[in-house]
Amino acid sequence: MTTFLSSANLPDEYEQLRRSVADFAKNVVAPVAAHHDETKTFPYEVVAGMAEMGLFGLPFPEEYGGMGGDYFALCIALEELGKVDQSVAVTLEAGVSLGAMPIYRFGTEEQKQQWLPQLASGQRIGAFGLTEAGAGSDAGGTKTTAKLVDGEWVINGSKQFITNSGTDITALVTATAVTGVDSNGKKEISTIIVPADTPGFTAQPGYSKVGWHASDTHPLTFDDVRVPEGNLLGQQGRGYANFLRILDEGRIAIAALATGVAQGCVDECVRYAKERTAFGKPIGQNQAIAFKIARMEARAASARAAYYDAAALMLSGKPFKKAAAIAKMVSSEAAMDNARDATQVFGGYGYMNEYLVARHYRDSKILEVGEGTTEVQLMLISRELGL
């Protein structure tokens, strides 16, 4: 296993990937990001470009149509995309770490053969259906039910805020549902693969959101949805536990994305502070501005160190729950704080939507909420400390 010490000694294969995604982000994503944000449209052509580069297959073995890389490779790509556009980055993050990964981790050989090649190719994307109106941080509050009737799961209920769930290329949603009660009278929660074209499954109209306008998010309804018994993903009753494992990993991916945001804000500010003059000199020559940007750089570097550490622990098979929660918390706070400071450095221009820092300002808040709120990360960290 490779030891990931720092960005200064990134092994060659990751450095090459980083450069090619950075080029793609600059030349393909950045020019259309403001347009998709403004028009609230899903960036199909950008997703097709990411698919062509193999980004959706990064952590999956070649036998399932993947690139034979690892989770850290996905993180490196997410950091570069996060610098220029969060909607595109989260489409990849949710597609790979939440959409396809549960099938790779917990699927039968048949399920992997059926679904992974299309998901890893990026021709289709998957979604992760955990959250419900009454079950967010407390995801065990799931009310959606699945009953086995004549060899089929009959699913009824609803999900909310589900990313990638209603696009033209959405292949499936893996949904948690109550499938019974265990011997202690506790709800038994299982995960079921629901193909997007199943009758009774509906992605309701999308939300009006503060940001992430080009990312696809919908409430979902399941109205007597029938899927074969074989669509059970993983062991019956292990659905909640399996999804928590997926979320632990996903936090490292979202931390990489957030690190990109924090760094993207620094990069924009350094450039702007040298160009923009006030009182006869570049604004960056004022210590108040230079120190603000220096602090932003420190936040981005700390966030990166935290997610590298979590990824290294995960890939070496060591416990990584606490490191992933720390990485997710510090990086999302770094993104939000840097986005706020960046808009200040840009003055009035920082309030204009056409500027990247303005988009980061609107987009970043959700990083402190999705895939576990900051409070949930603190809960996980304190539990790991035995508190």
Closer Cβ to ligand FAD, 249 or 371, answer by number: 371
> Shortest approach of ligand FAD to residue 13 CB, angstroms?
29
Q: Give strand ranges (E) for 164-216.
A: 170-181, 187-195, 201-203
Label residue 224 exposed, middle or buried (CB < 10 Å: 0-12, 13-18, 19+). Answer: exposed
- Residue of 297, 371, 375, 384 with catalytic role: 371
Closer Cβ to ligand FAD, 10 or 130, answer by number: 130
Tell me if residue 375 is catalytic.
no
The site for ligand FAD (CB under 6 A) is made up of 94, 98, 127-131, 136-137, 161-163, 209, 212, 217, 366, 369-373, 375-376
> Shortest approach of ligand FAD to residue 44 CB, angstroms?
19
* Minimal CB distance residue for ligand FAD: 136
Instruction: Report how far residue 89's alpha carbon sits from residue 372's, in angstroms, rounded to the nearest whole number.
Output: 18
* 64 closest CA partner among 123, 119, 122: 119
Closer Cβ to ligand FAD, 191 or 231, answer by number: 191
> Shortest approach of ligand FAD to residue 210 CB, angstroms?
9
Report the relative pairing of strands 125-129 and 170-181 from DSSP bridges: parallel
CA 309 to chain centre: 18
> Shortest approach of ligand FAD to residue 378 CB, angstroms?
8
For 324, phi and psi rounded to 5 degrees? -70, -40
> Shortest approach of ligand FAD to residue 386 CB, angstroms?
18
Is residue 356 within 8 Å of 268, Cβ to Cβ?
yes
Closer Cβ to ligand FAD, 85 or 309, answer by number: 85
Instruction: Report how far residue 271's alpha carbon sits from residue 98's, in angstroms, rounded to the nearest whole number.
Output: 35
Closer Cβ to ligand FAD, 184 or 208, answer by number: 208
For 124, phi and psi rounded to 5 degrees? -130, 160
β partners of residue 100: none
Q: Which residues are catalytic?
A: 371
